Amino acid sequence: MATEGSGFIGKSITVRGTLQGEGDLVVEGTVEGTIELKDQLLVQSGGRVSADVQAANLTVYGELTGSVNATEVVSINAGARVIGDIVAPRVIIEDGARFKGRVEMEVPLPDGLRADGGRR
């Protein structure tokens, strides 16, 4: 995941506020506030995020508290802890992960089709 445009928050770093960007972000430290990414957020084991998150992909090995809205996939891995509501087309919760909240799996509809099955 270390590509140009990627960001990294180390174990001894705490960030408070709004983080926005188009690249990937790896969190091993602490983030409090809001995260808005066009690409991937990875919360490593030991990483703590207390923020509302918008990203294409979210992978959690550490702790995350807040609302999550992902355009592609949310993956909560064994040993991770997530508290908050998730909206994403794909959600993966591994055995051994801890999750408290609700999941809404939004699937983009084809052009001209409404959620109730009718036509626009």
Question: pLDDT tens digit string along 77-111?
Answer: 999 999 999 999 999 999 999 999 999 997 666 66
Q: Does a structural domain hold residue 2?
A: no
HSE (side-chain half, CA atoms, 13 Å) at 84: 21
> How many distinct structural domains can be found in the chain?
1
Burial class (CB in 10 A: 0-12, 13-18, 19+), 50: middle
Q: Tell me the two tokens of residue 111.
A: 């052009």
Cβ atoms of 92 and 75 closer than 8 Å = yes
Q: Does a structural domain hold residue 118?
A: no
Range of the domain at 67: 9-104
Alpha carbon 42 to chain centroid distance? Answer: 8
HSE (side-chain half, CA atoms, 13 Å) at 79: 7
Which pLDDT belongs to residue 106? 72
pLDDT category of residue 118 using cuts at 50, 70 and 90: low
User: Cα angle at 65 between 62 and 70, to 5 degrees?
Assistant: 85
Question: pLDDT tens digit string along 13-45?
Answer: 999 999 999 999 999 999 999 999 999 999 999
